[in-house]
Amino acid sequence: MAQVKLYDTTLRDGTQGEEIAFTVEDKLRIARKLDELGIHYIEGGWPGSNPKDLAFFREARKLHLKQSRIAAFGSTRRAKMSPEHDAIFRALVEAETEVITIFGKSGDLHVREALRITLEQNLEIVHDSVRYLKTKVNEVIYDAEHFFDGYRANPEYAMKTLQAAEAGGADCIVLCDTNGGSLPSQVRAIIEVVRQQVRTPLGIHTHNDGECAVANSLVAVEAGAIHVQGTINGFGERCGNANLCSIIPNLKLKLGIDCVTDEQLARLREVSRFVYELANLHPSTHQPYVGDSAFAHKGGVHVSAVARRAETYEHIQPELVGNRQRILISDRSGVSNVVAKAQAFGLDLKGDDPVVREILEQLKELEHQGFQFEGAEASFELLMRKAMGRHKKFFNLVGFRVIDEKRKEDEPALAEATIQVKVGGKVEHTAAVGNGPVHALDNALRKALEKFYPELKEVRLLDYKVRVLTPTRGTAAVVRVLIESGDKHENWGTVGVSENILHASSQALIDSIEYKLLKEERRREEGRDAR
């Protein structure tokens, strides 16, 4: 197959998605990451539409990109204005990019109802716009908006719009499934017809309203498209755009198209997470290829099989896209899950060891009570170590008391926690305040222990989730608390369950602190061994 060019529109089309917003600095940082990933074109925005995009194009001139080319995006000229006098075109040219992408109408419905001009006038607009911009930049990409819908309604006219762009000198004509409702079979059939009548290289731009954006992009390539547009993580308006995090590995690993190098492909998960972080969104756990669950195995039969041959339940090697295999622990787990997790934790545990059955029975009983260890692997490692007799007790919680007090109607409530811990033979009795009872308890626990273990100052509580497990019992319901903690090296999850939210929170907090102390002791031992 021919070389396929990747065109990223995260910084423009992606920002039209709900909850998605980037600062100028965010956009510049993402552009650098996309260049490292091997993206050929980066659509930076619509110059003239807002100050942020103008600032991006001004700053983007200072970027030293190794592979990517920055593209400015806009529309065809307005109906009653020549290209040289159109402010849209003036802004596009002043962006000083190597590439300009413009979109035009492909369907008679949009021409008559949206633009309110004749079909012939639209053809002139498309031709004039492309021809004029070709005198200003080396490369002009024409996006045929609503092409597939327009073709199904009036194939003859839709083809004329492409031919107008071709006559104007477009370097690539991109067929857009703007409403995202086309099926792969329809996309393939239409592109095969277009290829017979248009010589200009074809591209594809799809949306995901029918959950077919990635599939439509792939069949377009199989049908002859050599330019694919999309966004990182599928960000975009409504249901999103075609997800480049799925398209890129499918092109390279499934269709054998070297659109990026092996080294660049191995950065895919890193780039995905980077964009999520700058968008201030939690990564999608179940996202193909790059999600945490993409290569996670839970069922005992599956785990037993992948322990022998990973390809029994994995369609690619996770490392190819920068991901990793994960073995999950739940009440569906078998011996293979427990042994695999022990190996991951650096524990020597064989399948015929009686402690494995003990761990399984304890696991199933705890999950019956409401515990869940899929997002709390630190708690599960501590559970395993206790069962194996390899758990070190760093401290004992003697007890705690929390007072939540509201003194005046117009003032917030004040929480104060008093706590006693025992470290070795010493008892520490202290108190701390917080925004709420759990926050106060966390502060008091840290305050009591940091004098013995100063490394706890590095720990940060990153996420705190409460789930009601028995909602029919109202305020007497059992709750599960999941905590994510982290330091400068890694993040870890812990869990607690109780009818009392403070008790559940204390369980998760204590596990979090014990895991940190376990990590530090392990790190010191490794340092001594290295010497």
Mean pLDDT calculated for residue range 361-377: 83
Q: What is the pLDDT at residue 333?
A: 65
Mean pLDDT calculated for residue range 223-243: 98
The span from the CA of 265 to the CA of 249, in Å, is 7
pLDDT band at 238 (very low <50, low <70, confident <90, very high): very high
Q: Is 27 in contact with 45 (CB distance < 8 Å)? A: yes
Q: Is residue 425 over pLDDT 80?
A: yes
Q: What is the pLDDT at residue 409?
A: 78
The span from the CA of 329 to the CA of 375, in Å, is 9
Q: Is residue 506 over pLDDT 70?
A: yes
pLDDT band at 441 (very low <50, low <70, confident <90, very high): very high
The span from the CA of 418 to the CA of 203, in Å, is 65
The span from the CA of 271 to the CA of 263, in Å, is 13
Return the number of other C-beta atoms located less than 10 Å from residue 316's C-beta.
Answer: 17
Q: What is the mean pLDDT of the chain?
A: 91
Residues 6+ apart with CB under 8 A from 459: 446, 485, 486, 487, 512, 513, 516
459-480 in b/e burial notation, b at 16+ Cβ within 10 A? bebeebeeeeeeeeeeeeebbb
pLDDT band at 309 (very low <50, low <70, confident <90, very high): confident
Q: Is residue 1 over pLDDT 60?
A: no
Which domains occur in the chain, in start order? 5-260 (3.20.20.70), 395-452 (3.30.160)
Parallel, antiparallel, or unpaired for β 69-75 and 326-327?
A: unpaired
Is the pLDDT higher at 488 or at 260? 260
The span from the CA of 421 to the CA of 395, in Å, is 7
The span from the CA of 494 to the CA of 379, in Å, is 5
**Which of 196-210, 321-335, 430-444 tops mean pLDDT?**
196-210
pTM of the model: 0.72
Q: Is residue 96 over pLDDT 90?
A: yes
Tokens of 160: 């004329």
Q: Is residue 374 over pLDDT 80?
A: no
> Strand, helix or coil at 402?
strand
pLDDT band at 499 (very low <50, low <70, confident <90, very high): very high
The span from the CA of 120 to the CA of 112, in Å, is 11
The span from the CA of 367 to the CA of 511, in Å, is 17
Question: Residue 272 CA to chain centroid, in angstroms?
Answer: 5
The residue type at 455:
E
Burial grade of 346 (CB within 10 A; 0-12, 13-18, 19 or more): exposed
Q: How many residues does the chain have?
A: 531
Q: What is the pLDDT at residue 152?
A: 96
CA-based end-to-end distance of the chain: 54
Is the pLDDT higher at 141 or at 328? 141
Helices and strands (H, E) in the chain, number of each type: 18, 16
Return the number of other C-beta atoms located less than 10 Å from residue 364's C-beta.
Answer: 13
Q: Is 481 in contact with 501 (CB distance < 8 Å)? A: yes
Sign, Cα dihedral of 121, 125, 126, 128 = positive
The span from the CA of 51 to the CA of 96, in Å, is 16
Q: What is the pLDDT at residue 471?
A: 82
Q: What is the pLDDT at residue 134?
A: 96
Segment holding 41, helix H or strand E:
strand 41-45
**Which of 38-52, 222-236, 297-311, 409-423 tops mean pLDDT?**
222-236
C-alpha distances (whole Å) from 300 to each of 293, 327, 331, 366, 403 are 16, 10, 10, 18, 45
The span from the CA of 70 to the CA of 12, in Å, is 12
Q: What is the pLDDT at residue 495?
A: 92
Return the number of other C-beta atoms located less than 10 Å from residue 375's C-beta.
Answer: 17
Segments in 285-427 forming alpha helices (H) = 300-308, 335-344, 354-369, 377-387
Q: What is the pLDDT at residue 331?
A: 57
Q: What is the pLDDT at residue 401?
A: 94
101-157: per-residue pLDDT in tens? 999 999 888 888 888 899 999 999 999 999 999 999 999 999 999 999 999 999 999
15-27: per-residue pLDDT in tens? 999 999 999 989 9
Q: What is the pLDDT at residue 489?
A: 84
pLDDT band at 529 (very low <50, low <70, confident <90, very high): low
> For tokens 């005198």, what's the residue?
135
- Percent of the chain at pLDDT above 70? 97
Minimum mean pLDDT range among 65-79, 177-191, 304-318, 508-522: 304-318
Tokens of 275: 């964009």
Q: What is the pLDDT at residue 56?
A: 95
